Amino acid sequence: MSVKVEHQLEQVEEKVTGADVLIQALVAAGVDTVFGYPGGAVLPIYDALYQNDTPFNHVLTRHEQGGVHAAEGYARVTGKPGVVLATSGPGATNLVTGITDAMMDSLPLVVFTGQVATNVIGTDAFQESDVMGITTPITKYNYQVRDLKELPRVVSEAFHIASTGRPGPVVVDIPKDISQTVTTRKDETTSCHLPGYQPNTKPNPLQIVKLADALSRSRKPLILSGAGVVFSGAADLLRQFAERNQLPVANTLHGLGSFPGTHDLSLQMAGMHGNYTANMAIYECDLLINIGARFDDRLTGNLKHFAPNAKVAHIDIDPAEIGKNVETEIPIVADAAEALRALLEKDITTLEHDAWIDTLEQNKRDYPLWYDHAEECISPQWLIKEIYRESDGKAIVTTDVGQHQMWAAQFYKFDQPKRWVTSGGLGTMGFGFPAAVGAQIGAPDELVVSVVGDGGFQMSSQELSVIKERQLPVKVIIVNNQSLGMVRQWQEKFFDERYSESIFSENPDFVKLAECYGIRGMRVEQEAELPGALAEAFHHDGPVVVDCRVVQMECVYPMIAPGKGIHEMIGVTK
């Protein structure tokens, strides 16, 4: 059976250009926002945007990388593909980090890049880059349009591929002469037939029975919930399944919010900086049901010690992930929501496992996340707890990578999906702030808080222009320890405190930086000042940058050192 998707195009007038055809195709695909940056090879497209009364917004970011991260933030909170437009050469290569980030974190993007004219491709023409060669290993699929007749079909296929199965980025490379070509062709309907691309969403009934049987025999069952639960809209189904069978739930980093963090059955985050209860539950369980997570190394630690006593069931829409890192006895290739529905239809009688639940509850009480309050400045963990309190736990939180990311994951309790936007697989500095731009555009009525480090913020702070220009009320909270905190922590623990190039001797005045963009800036240096400052910032009708001076030498605990097992955490205090 082939896959067929049809988009009804508005009738294209005679003597339209390729750029006009592209815009019509974007309208047909339901696009409402494009993040982009113009340049020579896409000038015909930008001219068409200028001349056409397009029903979608174009957001002019200040760097192409900012544009693709904004599109990722938009995709994360809306579930729709983020759309990016950039020119050839450096414009296209500036997208590479964001495309890779989206590929690693399974985010749907459709990226349009300009290309030099078809007759000079391969001649090292001005601003030429081999976009197909560069993006082949970092995309779900890529296209180069060589004939205008192909363009509507290619656009339709790109959106279908990006948003179905395991989501991911698709690149469409458009030579300048294709977008300039004038056609008299009238396209009314386009469709895509992809017989070789048929993501399986329905679980094998026999494998569901096998999992139900394993669950009925388990005394120490555990669910590991990943981003696949969020992407498939399966959070409510997961909650029903866990509550019906009294199954504890641990989350991956990207799975935060897929199960309520304040629920009694929640063990919260597992992994390198996960908490003691979640990690020990994985180590001691006898049945591990992984739903929508890919067993990456930051979760598993040393594989020899990962769930050593457990039968492993893995539900994932991408068959390539099953058995890739962890031996799996019950593989289920399916959409998480479809699999959970099938499991909920089963009348499963579980064994008594109250003792298991009691053990986990005792661990929660005995080994909680901890920190010391600072005397001279702000404890970063307390900063996150205050953000949680002030936002009533309802904010969309975006982060970069590093210490602030882990503290946010540990101390902000996510009760809903699509509230957590972070760079997990690639670990991209400079992601969090532009992602907040896209998140705020995708969810204009929500409180968006961008928690960033002072290092990462300096990689993308030029996007302050965008939030000022569009009056996006993003609240930027800089966890300012005047260092590359996680790098410094690793140097402290594993390089005998040789802090090579990880501590900043100078930082810009972030308050003045915000003010020079016309944005309100605030600085907070003492814990006593923090509650009032956050209240003022969150109630301010517009964007705010809050520079919070935190303890420079603070470390993130617990931590699994490189090469160690998930049960060998350091920094656990009873």
Q: SS3 of 527, please?
A: helix
- Count of CB atoms situated within 10 Å of the CB of 525: 15
Q: SS3 of 302, please?
A: coil
The residue type at 20: D
Is the sign of the CA dihedral 29, 32, 34, 40 positive or negative?
positive
Task: Give the pLDDT band (50/70/90) at residue 227.
Answer: very high
* Active-site hit among 24, 104, 159, 176: 176
Q: What CATH number does domain 205-367 carry, 3.50.50.60, 3.40.50.300, 3.40.50.1220, 3.40.50.720? A: 3.40.50.1220
Asked if 193 and 2 touch (Cβ cutoff 8 Å), the reply is: yes
Q: Compute CA distances 335 → 192, 201, 316, 508, whole Å.
A: 22, 5, 7, 47
- Averaged confidence pLDDT in the chain: 95
Q: Where in the chain is the domain with CATH 3.40.50.970?
A: 16-183, 380-556
Q: Which of 425, 419, 550 is nearest to 488 (CA)?
A: 550
Q: Which residues pair with 82 in a beta bridge?
A: 109
* Catalytic residue check, 127: yes
Longest dimension (CA), the chain: 75
Residue 551: pLDDT over 60: yes
Q: How far apart are CA 497 and CA 481, in angstroms?
A: 17
- Share above pLDDT 90 across residues of the chain, in percent, rounded to a whole number: 93
- Count of CB atoms situated within 10 Å of the CB of 561: 15
* Catalytic residue check, 15: no
* Active-site hit among 56, 127, 446, 492: 127
Asked if 318 and 342 touch (Cβ cutoff 8 Å), the reply is: no
Q: SS3 of 149, please?
A: helix
Asked if 114 and 41 touch (Cβ cutoff 8 Å), the reply is: yes
Q: Average of pLDDT values for 21-48?
A: 96
* Catalytic residue check, 64: yes
Task: Give the pLDDT band (50/70/90) at residue 1.
Answer: very low
Sheet holding 249-251, edge to edge: 266-269, 249-251, 221-225, 287-291, 311-316, 330-333
User: Residue 8: what pLDDT?
Assistant: 52
Q: Average of pLDDT values for 543-553?
A: 97
Q: Which residues pair with 35 in a beta bridge?
A: 59, 84
Name the DSSP letter for residue 270: -
- CATH fold label, 16-183: Rossmann fold (3.40.50)
Q: Average of pLDDT values for 262-281?
A: 98
User: Residue 9: what pLDDT?
Assistant: 52
Q: What's the pTM value of the predicted model, to 2 decimals?
A: 0.95
pLDDT in tens, 246-265: 999 999 999 999 999 999 99
Residue 3: pLDDT over 60: no
Residues 6+ apart with CB under 8 A from 124: none
Residue 28: pLDDT over 70: yes
Asked if 245 and 214 touch (Cβ cutoff 8 Å), the reply is: no
Residue 39: pLDDT over 50: yes
Residue 157: pLDDT over 50: yes
pLDDT in tens, 384-394: 999 999 999 99
Asked if 546 and 524 touch (Cβ cutoff 8 Å), the reply is: yes
Q: Average of pLDDT values for 28-57?
A: 95
- Count of CB atoms situated within 10 Å of the CB of 31: 21
User: Residue 53: what pLDDT?
Assistant: 85
The region of weakest confidence among 4-18, 204-218, 335-349, 559-573 is: 4-18
* Active-site hit among 4, 13, 15, 126: 126
Name the DSSP letter for residue 503: B
Q: What are the DSSP calls for 384-429, one per residue?
A: HHHHHHHTTT--EEEE-SSHHHHHHHHHS---STT-EE---SS--T
Structure tokens at 148: 């205008």
- Count of CB atoms situated within 10 Å of the CB of 504: 16
Asked if 102 and 93 touch (Cβ cutoff 8 Å), the reply is: no
Q: How far apart are CA 379 and CA 373, in angstroms?
A: 6
Q: How far apart are CA 190 and CA 158, in angstroms?
A: 13
Task: Give the pLDDT band (50/70/90) at residue 184.
Answer: confident
User: Residue 284: what pLDDT?
Assistant: 98
Cα angle value 36/40/45 (rounded, 5°): 55
Helices vs strands, H then E, count in the chain = 23, 24
Q: SS3 of 115, please?
A: strand
The whole-angstrom distance between residue 162's C-alpha and the CA centroid of its chain comes to: 15
pLDDT in tens, 366-387: 999 999 988 779 999 999 999 9
Asked if 456 and 423 touch (Cβ cutoff 8 Å), the reply is: no
Q: How far apart are CA 492 and CA 50, in angstroms?
A: 54
- Share above pLDDT 70 across residues of the chain, in percent, rounded to a whole number: 97
pLDDT in tens, 418-441: 999 999 999 999 999 999 999 999
Q: Average of pLDDT values for 204-231?
A: 97
Q: Where in the chain is the domain with CATH 3.40.50.1220?
A: 205-367
Q: How far apart are CA 297 and CA 410, in angstroms?
A: 19
* Catalytic residue check, 482: no
User: Residue 52: what pLDDT?
Assistant: 86
- Between strands 141-144 and 169-175, the pairing is parallel
Is the sign of the CA dihedral 532, 535, 540, 543 positive or negative?
positive
| Share of the chain residues as helix, strand and coil, in percent rounded to the nearest 5 | 40, 20, 40
- Between strands 189-193 and 4-8, the pairing is antiparallel
Asked if 521 and 515 touch (Cβ cutoff 8 Å), the reply is: yes
- Kind and range of the H or E element at 312? strand 311-316
* Active-site hit among 103, 272, 486, 569: 486
Q: Which of 428, 393, 429 is nearest to 412 (CA)?
A: 393
Residue 2: pLDDT over 60: no
Task: Give the pLDDT band (50/70/90) at residue 188.
Answer: low
Asked if 381 and 410 touch (Cβ cutoff 8 Å), the reply is: yes
User: Residue 54: what pLDDT?
Assistant: 86
Q: Which of 481, 501, 506, 504 is nearest to 491 (CA)?
A: 501
* Catalytic residue check, 486: yes
Q: How far apart are CA 25 and CA 277, in angstroms?
A: 50
Residue 13: pLDDT over 60: no
Residue 6: pLDDT over 60: no
Q: What CATH number does domain 380-556 carry, 3.40.50.300, 3.30.2130.10, 3.40.50.970, 1.10.3720.10? A: 3.40.50.970
User: Residue 185: what pLDDT?
Assistant: 63
* Active-site hit among 64, 321, 386, 463: 64
pLDDT in tens, 391-409: 999 999 999 999 999 999 9
